[in-house]
Structure 1
Amino acid sequence: MSRQQIQNTLFLPNDERLITMISVSKIPRKTNLKKRGSWLCAVLNTMESPAKVYIYHVKKSDRGEGFKKKMSWLLRDLRKLDGKSAEKPSPEFDLHFEKTYKWSAASVEEKEAFISSLWRLSHRFLIQKPEFENIPERLLEDIKDPHTLREKSQSVDDISIEGEDYQALSAKEEADLELLMSECQVAISNAEVFTEQLSKQLSVLDGANIHSIMGSEDQVLNLMRLLDNGIKEAEQIEEKLDSYDKILANVKEQMEVMRDKDTLMTLRNKNHQRLLEELQNLVVIRLDMKHIQALMDGDLTTPAGIQECTAAAQALHRCMNADIHPSLLRLGGVEEQQKRFKKLSTNFSKRLVHHLNNLFIHQVTYVHVYMSSLSKLYSREVSDFIENAKQKLVAAKESKGKLGTATLSRLTGSSTSLAKLDHRGRSGSIQSVDSSAVKYGSELDIAIRSVFDQVLEKVLTEMERVCIAEQDFCFKFFHLIDKNTPKDEDQEKDKDSTTEGGGDVETDVWVARQTYSAAEGEFITENLGQGLLQKRAAVTVEINMMAELFPQLETELDGFLTHADKQNDMYSMYMLVRMSQHVINNQDMGSFLGKTFGNCLIKVKRNFDKFIDAMMQTIRETKTSKKSRCGIISFVHSFEEFTNLAESIFKGSDRHADLDKAYTKLVRVIFEQIIRVAQEHQKTPREVVLMENFHRMFSILSHLKNPCLENDRKEAKQRYTENLQAYTVNLLGRPLEKLHTFFEGVEARIAAGVKPEEVGYQLAFSKQELRKLIKEYPGKEVKKTLEHLNKKVEKQLCEEENLIQVVWHEMQNLFINQYKYYDSLMTKCYPDSNITLEFTMDNVLQYFSDIAQSH
């Protein structure tokens, strides 16, 4: 194929010009190049602006009558051209575009000519040139010289083309030639006349050009004069610019000086501002004369005097805790002022302590007499009340859980204190346990536990009511500080203004607190920060006074709880929930009632732990009858009933975490003891014991829906599934024993290397031997075997868990798998023998269905 054919067929219609071409084939598929007709062509398109160079992969059409462009790339997209080797000639080369294309040229010479042409085209038309690697230096020498490069890149038409024997005219050149020939009619018939005419025209044009050059000499001289004048003007401008530079240099120095001065002024202003702010802070830290007078001589016996002293003390606190820079504290004036403030604080504190001490001393006699008298009354009433509660429990047990019409009597307390004051209505929010939802124990046990829950709630509610009422009375009657009394708006404002400076109210202004000592029979004065006076003093007075008024309250309550726990250790769950709720109701600032209930709660929690430990020990000591089938073990039933009762008791309680811990301990022990019983029981297979009891435990734990038992629930399900499968496999065994042994031998021969279709030619595994074994297992015999297995399952499994159908279904699947195993081996090893078992898959399904329905 000639270059001209490709040029005229593919590129000329698009005004493209073929620069160079090379016959190639792809690597590694090297085939006959002539037969494939594959070329790489470098083509120049000058119609685009700027001119672009394309590389086309050209192939012959399928019919071999023409050519087609298979792929095309722009030369500017070429990243690298790899010649493979610069020393050893090789026809292979790579073109790296976005993808790497590997080619093999028809000859080394064509490859070198193609690479040299791409090198020149890239240097002529590209700014960002591709890399040329592993190329012989001689291919690039002709354009490395800059002079040679300029000569070769003057125009697009000057590019040398190796091996080109003809260059077609462009469309513009062809049009100009036709116009010229049309002007001369003899151009076609007489070339000499046409040539002579062209020469004459050329002479005329040369003369016109010379005349034009001669006529423009004057203009050239004028242009030279203008250039000289321009040079002189430029020199003058440069001189002026030099003078301006000198002036600006002086200005620059002056501006730098001004900038430094401005910086210094700004810094000085900032320092002055900060100094002014610090001085203003120091000036503000002063105490008015009226506050000084109040601190020194203020009247602490009248409301107006107390208000003045309070305001003065707060102002003094602000002054002493003002935010002052540490360096300013060394100023003489500041040190002197701080000393004056400390002196005022010390004198006022001493005066206030003396005043409060006198007040408490006058009241201590009345308080002591009141507590001595009322403590005897409350001791007797509390003792009688607790004894009455104990008798109610005994009566409920004797009357089979009936509380009767008579309920617990109420604690009356002091007629002075309790006649006019109502209790605050604090009682446990826990509802009574619904006995219908609990099956733990007999109906009598359920009724008795319900009575105990009511009696316990009544005991705690009455103690709470009486103690709170007495406490309120003491605070109001003896004018003590009430820790629950809200402050008025003025006090809140004073508190806010006191704490604005960030100081600690407790550390500087001291007041007195009276603490009653039972041993000394008097109040002891202590120093305490004013900020905690109301809360701490109120709590201390309450605890001490209430402890004197109710000396036997905790002892009596503890005795009642101990008595109840001895009657039934299950009561510890009721006590734990009820007591916890009442502790929460009375936990404000560690009050006497909260402290008393809290101490009892600790003992109740210990009783609950003992109750759980006793349950665990009972589970460990459980023995089962070895003469009958095991079924569901008794402690599994007990655990299920316990969870129902416990969930109803602990529902909504904050103590459910204690129950969760108990669940975890009990489940671990139950799992261990199920395994022990399964190993020891002689009547029931081990797998049946494990399967049934872990199935029940899985059901119980799933019903609880407790996140802390999720791992135990999964373990129970896993153990149930594993033992179900193991029991089914062991029970079913090999119902077709001889057939199973026969096919095991067949598989052994195949494993030893005998081809499956050749197994039947061995004497022990012949077709006749197989038919003989099949006749021993007719459908009726198989059904009898299955009926015997079903009866065995019914004897070993308990009806309580209803797992017979589950086991039977699992056994059906296992038997079907054995059937398929025999059938597949017969098909593979005895083809075209028409040997089959005497019963089909449908027969097997019917056998299992009939047996299941009959039972």
Structure 2
Amino acid sequence: MEESDENGLKEESYQALTSREESDLERLMAQCEFTINNTEAFTEKLSRELSSMDSSNIQSIMASEQKVENLMKVLQCSIDEVAKLEQRIEHYQNLLKNVRDIVLQVEQKEALVQTQNDNNQKLLSELQSLINELEFPPDKERNLFETDLTKSNGITLCLIAANSLQECLQANIHPALRQMNAVREQQRYLEQIQARFCNRLYTQMNEIFDSLVAQYADRLLQSMNSKDLALCNHEVIHNALMPYSPLIKLLKPNSDNTFSAIQNSYLNKMKPLYENEITHYFDLVKEKLSGGKLTIGSSDSFDGRKKNQEGSRMRSSSFQGTGQEFLDSSSSKSSDISLSEWEEFDSCIERMLSTIDPVCLYEQRFCISFFDIDSVNVQHTTESGHRRSSSIGSQNYSISPSPSNLSQNSSELSDVKKAESLRRLMSQMFLILEQEFVKFISNYDRLDGLYSMYLLVRLSQHVLSTQDAGSFLAKTYGNILIHVKRNFDKFMQSQVTAIEETKAPKKPKCGVFPFIKKFEQFAKQAEGVFKVSASRRTDIDRWYVTLCRSMFDTINRLSDTHHKTPPEMVRLENYHYLHDVLCTLKIACLESEKREAKQRYNEALKDYVARYFGRPLEKLNTFFEGVQMKVAQGVKQDEVGYQLAFSKQELRKVINSCTLKDIKKGLEEMYRKVEKHTCDPDSTLIQVSKTSAFEKIIY
């Protein structure tokens, strides 16, 4: 390892000759003309030449000493000149430094002057902009207060001036500039102009409202008649007011008090107008329903007519009354008033709803536009309402789109406060609508409770189809529906109470209780009404069951209190008739009651046969009772005939003992009993009873 390291170091210390060194060495060796083996001679020659060269060099150096001294002197002179040059340069630098300071000062002064000029220019520009933004030209001020707002040109000029005033008041001014006295004074001046303009606009709008109401109120009221049964809209008034809408919208963000005052003024002017029209409209509806006998505009006339008719019609569709009194009033509303008149009432209610909806929605659309209340697609819904009202004459009782149907494609109001504001405004303006509708409902409910049933179905279809439960009309109709539902439940409860309080008739033959026939007539009419309203089916079904249970209890109670007709026959007739009624009606919710009526009918029939038919052929009955006893004791039916007491010969003797005369006499006696107890001689119960009697005899 050591040898290898030494070899490596030798290789690293070895340096090869360059090409120039090789050529010089070759030239030297060629000059010496020594062989390569005579190294000593070659080395010696080289030493001599080296010594010769060293001595030459020493001599040359000694010979050039003077030159060196001269060179040193020259160098010293150069150094001195350089020092002088440096001093001069330093002097020049000092001079330039003073000049630079002066130039810098000049530049700073020039920059300061430029900055002052720029600031002055900016200040001038800012002041000019401030003046332009706050300056309100006198001609525009005159337009605010001197233009004629009854003309379109005057409204346009006033609107331009008002927009300019709003731009001045809403100018984007730096907060620091607002502290300037001039700015404050100008702003106070502009605010005074705005206040004066608001007062003028409020006064002008009040005059316009009064003028329009005075001009069109009587004309619109007189255009209504009971034939068309249409509630007029206020399109002519709205069209006259719409040009002022931009001015009203300017007040909303800038003068809320004036805006609210104008809105309240419009409400106070239009509310009495709607009250008169709606009150008159309901009088027209009452006149149409009464066949033109109602004095227009007089609610008392309807009440008087109602009182005159109450005695004859109040019980026409109810279950009230007992005995002969009940039978005397047993003609139902369907017979007292034709079915077409009931349909006319239903169609009239539908026409009312179809007429009121577009008017309310048109007013709502106008308020949204005129008072800048946010809503979506109300215009489309109102237009669809007008199209529907215009085509109502060709419809009989089609379901009218509810207020929410008219607006079911619309979105909810984005701002809850604005939605509340709109609903509050409409509720105050149409406050009379709910009051008159409730009064109308109450009048007809007192006249006949069946009206509540028609109103319940029609209003339910109108309200339950809504998607926007928070709209004004939906809430109004919802409140009205509560009154109708309450009246309907009260009416139905009165029917239940009437059934429960029914007394047994004083006739010799009880027959079918009148409340069962009344129930039949009522159910047929109710089925015709509720078949178009699946949403209210549960209400009538619940009362169906209650009425049936009350009839069951009352039949059992009255069967024991009528002393001239056997209780079995009372139950037999009434349950038979009730079962036929339920079979005819085919009401799904009364299936269990139908089966129970059938069961009670069979029980009553069995009890009646057992009590009054007795044992007309005693020996024959005794023979077969013995046969049944043997069978019950375990004797096979085939073996009973082999016993002596029950043989065929014994049966022949028993049959021979029963003569035809006895059989005929027994049958005739039972027929007389059935005819005596049965109220209706044409009733199928007589045939049923006879058949049962014959079976009893055969048995």
* TM-score under structure 1 length normalisation: 0.40
Which protein is bigger by CA-based radius of gyration?
Answer: 2
| Higher helix proportion | 2
